[in-house]
Amino acid sequence: MDNKPTTEPTAGVSDKEKIRPVILTALTDICGTAEVANNPQLDLFARGLLDSFGLVELMLTIHEQLGLEIAPTEVEREMWSTPEKIIGYLEGKTR
């Protein structure tokens, strides 16, 4: 028996309200500071809080918890530089 959590394909895609808390929690864990949740305009790369390894971890979390596929080619550093920009991008994918 597999005990891995499952995500229904439509659960994450249609539920925009789930995106913000999932992303802020994931970024807090990945970056190691609650500052990212308290300041969604914080530039994660400029502050040295997020690197390419953290970005891969974030993409995996997005897939596992929200059911959204993000290809590495979709990720442009400027578009993913702040928690708010990441959330906005993902909300746009759910339309």
Name the more confident of 13 and 80: 80
pLDDT per residue as tens digits for the range 14-47: 467 899 999 999 999 999 999 999 999 999 999 9
* Res 72: pLDDT: 87
Residue boundaries of the structural domains of the chain: 20-93
* Res 12: pLDDT: 41
2: Cα within 13 Å, side-chain hemisphere: 3
Are 93 and 37 contacting, i.e. CB atoms less than 8 angstroms apart?
Answer: no
Are 43 and 63 contacting, i.e. CB atoms less than 8 angstroms apart?
Answer: no
pLDDT per residue as tens digits for the range 46-92: 999 999 999 999 999 999 999 999 988 888 989 999 999 999 999 99
Superfamily classification of domain 20-93: ACP-like (1.10.1200.10)
Residue partners of 31: CB distance under 8 A and separation at least 6:
44, 49, 50, 54
